[in-house]
Structure 1
Amino acid sequence: MASPRRVLPRALAALTALALLAPAAGCGGGAAAGSAPTTELRYQGSAGQVTLPELAADLGYLGDVRLNWIGNVTGGPQDIQATATGQSDFGGAFNGAIVKLAAANAPITAVISYYGSDAQSFQGYYVPDDSPIRGPRDLIGRKVGMNTLGAHAEAVLKTWLSRGGLSAEEIAQVELVALPPVNIEQSLRQKQIDVAVLGGVIRDRAVANGGIRTIFTDFELLGAFSAGAYVFRDDFIRRNPATVKAFVAGVGRAIEWARSQPRETVVARFESIIAKRGRNEDPSLVRHWKSSGVAGRGGVITDQEFATWIDWLAAEGELKGDKPRPGDVYTNEYNPFAAGGAAA
């Protein structure tokens, strides 16, 4: 079980190194100059869950664009690493991880939000009912399990600890442990970790099993916000603008479809998608789905959703030189919802 003390610099340093390779590797996917546009998008999925692009495809919202599943993702930073190096055509991650990679001159741009936190869907920091942990100072010397390091869960945790009065030296004594999402609940119950970061349907299933309580949530800390976005390489966008537009419009429509339908309708659709794709998966997770948590209509991105993490990374000393502007990292150019409209 991994237990690094200063994991954010280490994880994001890996992104920086990969960013230097991205310009050379970026030509691996997408259409070559002068050839026909690419309409097949390679991507990584998530075991036992349905991503918004997969939902959009099943609803017929992607038009001529087809998805090509190449495996399952282990975490947001890994997903955008794969995109930056040309192993996939799009990937999604926590906005702070996107900022770090873009600030290291990786040629990527965020185009649409795909997850976030609201009153129904959020990341919670959970302990057993009988745990003595109540506040930030109680985490000193404790182990916190999360799905990936250097991303959403870590940034929110350290923000909470800092706001709770802990010094940088004290925060460094909180031990962060990366675990597969499906194993985090079990690790908490077996007391291998002291705090579990749980989100989405995995959180809902764990809560339904009983015996755990929250110490805080990202929604309580920051309010409703979109937390992560899908990115494409800049060379892919230049060569395939119509494909990117179709993708963004379709995912935006899927966000609004899921927002407008009864929960039971969305869950039934997810179960149908999992059954049809034949990956030998357990569909029980999707039965706990409540919302995507995306704040903006159709996944429209706002400056604040990147500015928050730009400022945080700068304060942590993780950004060298001038801070990037939010507009340097994302665009709503391909999202029809940005102008108040909707996808056709």
Structure 2
Amino acid sequence: MRWFRKNSLFIALMVVLLFTVVGCSSGKPAEKTSKGTEQKAEEKIKVGFIYIGPVGDAGWTYAHDLGRKYLEEKLPYVETTYIENVPESADAERVMTELAQKGYKIIFATSFGYMDYMLNVAKKFPDVIFMHNSGFKTAENMGTYFGRMYQPRYLSGIIAGKMTKVNKIGYVAAHPIPEVIRGINAFTLGVRSVNPNATVKVVWTNTWYDPAAEKEAAKGLLDAGVDVIAQHQDTPGPQQAAEEKGVYAIGYNTDMSSFAPKANLTSPIWNWGPYYVKVVEAVKNGTWTNEQYWGGMADNVVDLAPINSVVPEDVKKLVEEKKQAIINGEFDVFWGPIKDQSGQVKVAEGQKMTDAEMLSFDWFVEGVDGTIPK
């Protein structure tokens, strides 16, 4: 009897220990499919973003980062990271290489000057998808994407043309590349569609992100007598200069009205989030292609921010009519007749510029006061 009592106690302890070990072997019950087999939790897709400026620039980089956050919100299986203030140099190639080595399967590079560096890295990592913003070079695993920002720029030009009192509008421009030239031309065509006597004076800063330089450039234009400031820059510096001077301004990238509530009339803006979702879903589903995407207002990748209440209702109505005409394909910005600064007809009436021609703009339209540096 003593043997039985002693050993029965031992057996009971072993049974308890066995159930304890089994119960603690997994942090949570294994997921089961309808057939009863184990299914692993869905693996995260790692997506990397490379930015030319800081996420707090209130402009270009901030707009892309809003898109990144939208992507994470809409697709729970996505894990993102970003590297800001990456120069358009060999540093960009190093950063992209490191992201690929760390297992990032989709990499977005968001500035024109990253193009050749991304192409180099794409060749070394064929299993990674690379997406370059605003460029024109592709590879089997590298596509490009951009938006037809010239469409809302034209609309903002209509507003500027109606709101100027002296018929002199200033434009603070970053670098003399086709993207920026195209925007200046679109804006000027919008201005002169409602005010043929107005001109648009351009100054170059040769920087994407430099709050002080951008603001000083705007001040120089204001000293020259303009009464509306537009911009292709990444910060609200030009808007703030206009606010301090008591004149109007047109922003860019995001709604900049909070930085200059009295001056800012509207801003042509980016909406990257839905496009980022589309790309990641295509990669996940195996339907991604190395396309050269160039979406417009019909895709909602570009738009116009809310218009300031100081703008008359008839002007707002005109802008809305033109916007709908663009969306419906009844009108677009670079349809002839269009003349250059010398008065020569560059696009005949009834003709329209091709995408290739718009993507290689190297001349100003009639009404622009300025030159394009070589």
User: Which protein is richer in helix relative to its size?
Assistant: 1
- Structure showing greater Rg: 2
By the TM > 0.5 criterion, same fold? Answer: no
Q: TM-score range by the shorter chain?
A: 0.3 to 0.5
Specify which structure has the bigger relative contact order, considering alpha-carbon pairs within 8 angstroms and separated by 6 or more residues.
1
| TM-score (normalised: structure 2) | 0.34
